[in-house]
Structure 1
Amino acid sequence: MIRRAAPLLLACMPLLLGGCGLRPLYAGGESGPVRTMLSGVTVEPIPGQSGWLVSTALQDRLRAEGTPRYRLQVALDDEIIGLGVRRDDAVTRERRSLRARYQLIDATSGETVLDDTAGSDVGIDVVSSEYATIAAEQSALERLSAIVADQIVARLALFARQPDAPVEQ
């Protein structure tokens, strides 16, 4: 019975998915409204090493071209907290947090059209080698920078997808 119903179910699947209301975020590809809006965003310089990493990740994802329609201002909070403590007061575990508050500003009017936050945490084992711990902290910062940049770009894409978003086509 199940074997006979499987082909029928597979044939009806596209019809069922069409009615669910889902729309592709990047519909239209390179000329779609989301890609057009994202390519019009320029990232303002962000101070510090974490700022350089996030800024570079954002620029790679946004691929700005032409005259910028928006400016993206990002303020970062990078923090390392010791969590696990042994009897001799040595830290054995750390948590690195990277939080970003970002604002999307219309370049012509100076109006803030989006104000939001993004962030992520990662755990780090503190080992007896100081070099290994520093390398782990650096690696964690690189991963966090990519995660935060992905969150920001995803939020900007959702903003561009809104019907009332000021997107130039």
Structure 2
Amino acid sequence: MLKRAALLALAVCVPLSACGLQPMYAGGSNSTVAQGLAAIDVPAIPGRDGWLVRNALKDRLHVARAGQDSVAPAYRLDVRLDDALEGLGVLNDDTISRERRILRSRYQLIDLATGEILLDATAGSDAGVDVVSSEYATIAAEQTALENLAKDVAERMATRIALTLRERERGAAQ
């Protein structure tokens, strides 16, 4: 039975190795993608939502902190955010019982050497928030939703940026 399972696993792995998939961060922190991500300057983004997204991006992109070994920026990431809160559930007495928080981002990755826009894209996410009788609890839920949305949007942006840098590397290698 164990031998059969090992053969089955091997049979599945052989076709996968020929499909062209390869790790994005092959080479660890020395890979071209990882070095490209570390060389992105993320200027300040206005507002609390901007502060949250910028910090999440810096964490995700592994941007060097002040006082540590710094990498000269090769790219700049310009980000514009749209944060909206809309009522969803309305009760008979016209009070809102559920809200939807929406965070959308329009961003551009710019090559500082050439001024070329390498990526012009959008990312977004939304979350539902229950409106309860305690105003404090509702405000806390809205803020928590914003924090989670900021992380999600930053993750989506970083993934798309990494894909762009990998494609650029492949184009330069050919």
**CA deviation vs aligned residue, 1:111-166 (integer Å, no higher than 9, x gap):** 21110000000000000000000000000000000000000000011001112269
1:109-128 mapped onto 2 (5 Å cutoff):
109-128=114-133
Instruction: Report the Cα distance in structure 2 between the residues aligned to 1:67 and 1:144, rounded to whole angstroms.
Output: 29
Residue 85 of structure 2: which of 80, 83, 91 is its match?
Answer: 80
Contact 1:74–1:100 (CA<8 Å) still a contact in 2?
yes
Instruction: Give the alignment's TM-score, normalised by structure 1.
Output: 0.92
Q: 2:15 aligned with 1:16, yes or no?
A: yes
Q: CA deviation at 1:6?
A: 2.4
The aligned residue for residue 132 of structure 1 is 137
Alpha carbons 2:101, 2:128 under 8 Å: kept: yes
Give a deviation string over 1:84-127, Cα, whole Å, max 9, x none. 00111000000000000000011122221110000000000000
- Distance across 2 between alignment mates of 1:125 and 1:33: 44
The percent identity for this pair of structures is 53
Aligned length: 165
1:33-56 per-residue CA deviation (whole Å, 9 max, x = no partner) reads: 110110110101100000000001
2:171 to 133, 146, 164: 164
CA contact (8 A) 1:159 1:165 kept: no
Length-normalised TM-score, structure 2:
0.89
- What is the Cα-based RMSD across aligned positions, in Å? 1.7
Question: Residue 101 of structure 2: which of 92, 96, 105 is its match?
Answer: 96
2:158 corresponds to: 153
Q: Residue in 2 aligned with 1:59?
A: 58
